[in-house]
Amino acid sequence: MLKRYRSGVVLFLIFMMTAGAQTPQQTAPGQFTIRVQTQLVIETVTVRDRNGKVIEDLTEKDFGITEDGVPQTIGIFKFQKLDDIAVPPPVAPAPADPAASPNQIAVEKPGDFRYQDRRLMVLYFDMNNMPESDQYRAVFAAEKFIQSQMKPADMVAVMSFANGAVKVHQDFTADRAQLRYVVDSLIAAEQDPDQPMPADTGTAFGQDDAEFNLFTTDRQLAALQTAVNMLKSVNEQKSLIYFASGLRLNGTANQAQLQATINSAIRANVQFWPIDARGLVARAPLGDATMASAGGLGMFTGGATRMMADRFQQSQDTLYALASDTGGKAMLDTNDLSAGIVNAQQANGSYYILGYYTTNANLDGKFRRIKITLKEVDGAKLGPYREGYFAGKDYSKFNTADKERQLEDALMQGDPITDLTIALELNYFRLNPAEYFIPMTVKIPGRELALAKRGGAEHTVIDFIGIVKDEYGTTIQNVRDKVDIKLSDATAAQLVKSPVQYDTGFTLLPGKYVLKFLARDAETGRIGTYLTNFAVPNLNKENRRVPISSVVLSSQKVDLKDAIYNARKDTVQSANPLVENNQKLIPSVTRVFSKSREMHVYLQAYDVAAEITPEFVAFVTLYKDQTKAYESRPLAAAVAPDSKLKSRPLRFTVSLNTLPEGDYTCQVTVLDPNGQKASFWQSPIRVIP
């Protein structure tokens, strides 16, 4: 669970860019070219007197800046006076860029003063994940703000995440009529059945409706990161008002994407101001009339009610974290959604912009600490500012000797790299009374990998590195591997449409753990990071439910020699319960299944402290919109002949060809009629053509 927390300091902004990099040019004999690369770091800070009033007459000589204790020279200094009473003087617009699209954030070029003394706000609507009622509330709140609450210093942009793509509907403008027209058109665009769906662009983080990240919040966070990167071209401080119906990190979500989104916002000088568009919610203890009864003992013990409340709370925790780590504030549990926009407006007053070219030009990705001081300004007090940043990094130009060290550095850094899409699944199966085998399966879209021609054949080379730590921060397991996959012409063409799968496994005791795993494309140096918390239960203490392993869903069994789907070939396979007769069950990881294939379901049930030999019975059920769409025949669980633990494997094959396309809930039920116990497992799946 992602817990609520507040940082010790409010983090405001850091904008980094590479400047002054000269492209090598041809020179006459006897001449040479000097190439200089500098990194510009920009900070914003507010200075107030004893009465809380902003001090406006300071110069760069009144400030001091150090980075990791090294004094820096202020090269850029500007005061942004946000006067909400007087109308800012008109600024001549910069010449239009003929190559620019009208629906994008204009690049702020040198000498462009259109944003001088302006408060920049972005209205961002997550249309992909808001139900229609929440969309209307969000749009009405935006209209109310534009019509009656905008101030003279405000400039507003409008963006949305819809149909799997981030779109800029309106660049920064103070034209209220234009803004109202754009916001009004959002609902109409969502309801237009003739509007074409955008093409799958194959973005690196899987924010489209393709297979990867379909049932996680990764694509919502990745879409936010895309929006932040679009705003990076504007140097001034920006507030992104994020309308959403909650954002819940679940067990399959990649927490590295959350960190990457927050770090990108800080670098781009963007504060998140999330607004929960659901408003103040009053829920019936066991759900309203649109929900089927959950059943079970939870109805009588209060467990079902607590679970519902916890899920709602978790959906707000991520919004809280986004806000607190970027200097904003989340607006939760209120029906006046426009108040959240006003909060962002009132929080951003006049401020100073300080910029310096760091004396440390190393692109090592490490954290650098910043300290800003005032020199002999009587009674002045500095407001919150960003006290550090992660330096830029370049992992694509390493020599052979540095590659291993740099990959290890990337594993240890607090700034995750999410250039490659990674889908990962962890399962657990009982090995003995004390230990559990943890198979780990990783999928990477083949279209994101580069192919190299060597020795007459095409290759794709992937580096893997990972670390497992317990809840006390102690390293328990390490993963390090390099896979060179040789492809024929046929499989090279197939790679574009198929994922590359890597799997390994390790042994753990029951407990809580954290996994951080990285994959690097050796041809391009692009890296993907997966970070997740997971728990291995102690089934020896399970006396209320039937003890079962993880449940694996799959749509295919392949030979271990298949290079496309299985990059890992070693002794790990001997302990892997998913391998049988030299055939391996391939976990779907992404829970997306084609109607043309059967869905395989595999799990194990265990006899733990049973007074009599249990007679386990299991079946699989598919629900669509709270209605039962499929149910298998009950299957008796027989003890595996070679199992010392008397483990009982359960294998189901579900035919999907008669089911309509769409989203389903897959439920596996295991019953012990003699012991009057049961276990239930559920997961969302999607059926596609």
What pLDDT, in 10s, does the model give residues 267-324?
888 999 999 888 876 555 555 555 555 544 444 455 455 555 556 666 778 888 888 8
Task: Give the integer Cα–Cα distance in Å for 479 and 502.
Answer: 12
Q: Tell me the per-residue pLDDT of 457-474, one tens digit each, with 9 for 90 and over.
A: 678 889 999 999 999 999
Q: Per-residue confidence at 92, pLDDT binned at 50, 70, 90?
A: low
Q: Per-residue confidence at 419, pLDDT binned at 50, 70, 90?
A: confident
- Cβ distance 670 to 540 under 8 Å? no
Q: Per-residue confidence at 22, pLDDT binned at 50, 70, 90?
A: very low
Strands 457-470 and 511-521: antiparallel
Q: Tell me the per-residue pLDDT of 634-647, one tens digit each, with 9 for 90 and over.
A: 998 887 766 667 78
As a whole number, the mean pLDDT across the chain is 78
- Cβ distance 354 to 371 under 8 Å? no
The pLDDT value recorded for residue 195 is 47
The pLDDT value recorded for residue 99 is 53
Per the structure block, which two tokens stand in for 40? 């510009």
Sign for the pseudo-dihedral over CA of 87, 92, 94, 100? positive
Give residue 477's Cα distance to chain centre.
25
**DSSP conformational letter for 61:** G
Per the confidence metrics, is the pTM higher than 0.75? no
Which domains, ranges and CATH numbers included, belong to the chain? 1-81+350-392 (2.60.40), 96-339 (3.40.50.410), 400-688 (2.60.40.3880)
DSSP states of 524-541: T--EEEEEEEEEE--GGG
Query: What residues does 603 pair with on adjacent strands?
Result: 650
- Cβ distance 266 to 10 under 8 Å? no
Residue partners of 358: CB distance under 8 A and separation at least 6: 38, 39, 41, 67, 72, 368
Q: Tell me the per-residue pLDDT of 373-385, one tens digit each, with 9 for 90 and over.
A: 998 777 888 887 8
Backbone angles phi, psi at 63, to 5 degrees: -115, 150
Range with lowest mean pLDDT among 267-271, 399-403, 441-445, 504-508: 399-403
Q: Tell me the per-residue pLDDT of 636-685, one tens digit each, with 9 for 90 and over.
A: 888 776 666 778 899 999 999 999 998 899 999 999 887 788 899 998 89
Q: Which of 128, 123, 104 is nearest to 221 (CA)?
A: 128
User: SS3 string of 80-117?
Assistant: ECCCCCCCCCCCCCCCCCCCCCCCCCCCCCCCCCCCCC
The pLDDT value recorded for residue 379 is 80
